[in-house]
Structures are given as C-alpha cells and as structure tokens.
Amino acid sequence: MKLFDSHAHLDDEQFDEDRKEVIDKIINSNVKRIVNVGADIKTSESSIKLAQQYEFIYAAIGIHPHDVSNCKLSDIEYLKELAANEKVVAIGEIGLDYYYDHSPRDVQRNWFARQIELSEELKLPFIVHSRDASEETHDIIKANKKKSAFVLHCFGQSLEMAKKYIDMDGYISFAGPVTYKKSVKLREIIKNIPKDRILIETDCPYLSPEPKRGKRNDPTNVEFIAKTLASELNISTDKLAEITFDNASRFFSI
Ligand SMILES: [Zn+2]
C-alpha cells in the first residue's frame, strides 16, 4: 500500500523533541508522500527546509487567515521568491476562519483573494482552510480563481457545497473528523462525489482520527482515514490508497 498525506505540519513545535524518530517511523510505514503546509512566513520557510531534507516531503507556502492581520505586500513578494524552490508544490494554507476571527474579516477576504491571484501567477494549486465561512469562501474562489486547481482541506461543509467546489475544478480532502462516530453526514458525502476528486490528510499534529483520538497525530495515521473512506465506498483500503495517491500526485503535479 502507498499512502499520500496531503496536509501535514511536521515542523510544528509538538514534534520538536522527536521529529527524527517520527520521520523514521514514517519512512518505515506505508506513507510514501507528504505535503507539509505552511501557515505564515516562518512555517513556509520551515516547510521548505523539511522538504529539502527529505525526498518524500514536499512543501506548500502561504499565510493562514489567523495570521493575515500583519500581512504586507512584501510578504507576497517573499512568497514568490520562496516558490522558486522546486519542492514547493502549492500555495497554502489560505482562506477564511470566521470561527476564531483572529484577523478582521475584511482583511481575511483581501489576503485570501490576493493569495489565489498568487497561485494563478505561479501556476500552482492552492490549499483552502475554511471554517464557518462556507458561502464567502465559495464566492471568493469563484471570483478570483482562473486556472488553478484547489482543495478544501479538512472538509467539514455540506454535500451541496462539495459539489459546487467540484464544479469549479476543486478537490475535497478528508481528515480525522471523518472517522468520528457522529460524522454521519460527512461520510455520506464520500459516496456522492467523484472518486477522482478525493484527497486524504492528517493535518497533524492536530485532529487525530479514531482510534488515536486525543493523542498527537502524525502522518502514519492517514491509514485510518483511508480505511474509513474505503469502507464507505465498499472498496479495499489498498484501492482507496491508490486512488488518493494518484489524485494527490496529479493535484500537486508531482
Ligand atoms: Zn493545516
């Protein structure tokens, strides 16, 4: 089996004490590719650093809605410079978070749109974080996206929204919450969207899937997400792993 974790934060401080051990464990697992995702300038840099150290790790760079309040135009220029690195495969994570509202909403909308423009300019796909802002996330993508592919990471919206994103060339990525007992509606979505638009991710160190819930998450747990999706689709976990590996490789042009 070959698994692709399309969204991880291995540079997070929760891995500072044993990052090497965790990565050794991944090397000996079924996880064969990982995209490590930045959320500000510092973590965009550390994502690239990790990607340069390990052949199977790739980097996404961008500024998360939590951190856009201090964003400057020069940051966009700097992201452009960082994107010249050959291991950078996406812009992200970018988007809207109206649950925490760490940045004013108009500022979030502005930098989300600007970073979509950046992805178009650089011909890279973009990774979307969206919480309690589904309509506006959709509208901003619709107004600003031209050719870039995009993925709704850790999808938690409705089937109707999933279909709208797919109609705009979007992908839908499932994380730990899809394994939770109460996520019946989320699991229903899997059967009702095309298989070639599904990605899987851990979003580690956050959001551990069942049966690891409550513990620190790491990319090897992506297998539990694969198992859940496979059982919903009535296919083998091997087959689901293969489909999502191919989807992510196509999405990130790896
Ligand atoms: Zn994330």
Total domains in the chain come to: 1
Global pTM exceeds 0.95: yes
Distance from the alpha carbon of residue 176 to the mean position of ligand 1, in angstroms: 12
Q: What is the pLDDT of residues 72-105, one digit of tens each?
A: 999 999 999 999 999 999 999 999 999 888 889 9
Distance from the alpha carbon of residue 93 to the mean position of ligand 1, in angstroms: 7
- Per-residue model confidence (pLDDT) at position 68: 86
- Per-residue model confidence (pLDDT) at position 77: 96
pLDDT mean values, one per 10 residues, the chain (254 residues): 98 98 98 97 97 98 91 94 98 94 91 97 97 95 97 97 96 98 96 98 97 96 98 98 98 98
Distance from the alpha carbon of residue 203 to the mean position of ligand 1, in angstroms: 5
Three-state secondary structure string covering the chain? CCEEEEEECCCCHHHCCCHHHHHHHHHCCCEEEEEEECCCHHHHHHHHHHHHHCCCEEEEECCCHHHHHHCCHHHHHHHHHHCCCCCEEEEEEEEEECCCCCCCHHHHHHHHHHHHHHHHHHCCCEEEEEECCHHHHHHHHHHHCCCCCEEECCCCCCHHHHHHHHHCCEEEEECHHHHCCCCHHHHHHHHCCCHHHEEECCCCCCCCCCCCCCCCCCHHHHHHHHHHHHHHHCCCHHHHHHHHHHHHHHHCCC
- Per-residue model confidence (pLDDT) at position 67: 87
Distance from the alpha carbon of residue 115 to the mean position of ligand 1, in angstroms: 16
CATH label of the domain that carries residue 36:
3.20.20.140
Distance from the alpha carbon of residue 83 to the mean position of ligand 1, in angstroms: 19
Distance from the alpha carbon of residue 113 to the mean position of ligand 1, in angstroms: 19
- Per-residue model confidence (pLDDT) at position 146: 96
Range of the structural domain that residue 159 is part of = 3-251
- Per-residue model confidence (pLDDT) at position 11: 98
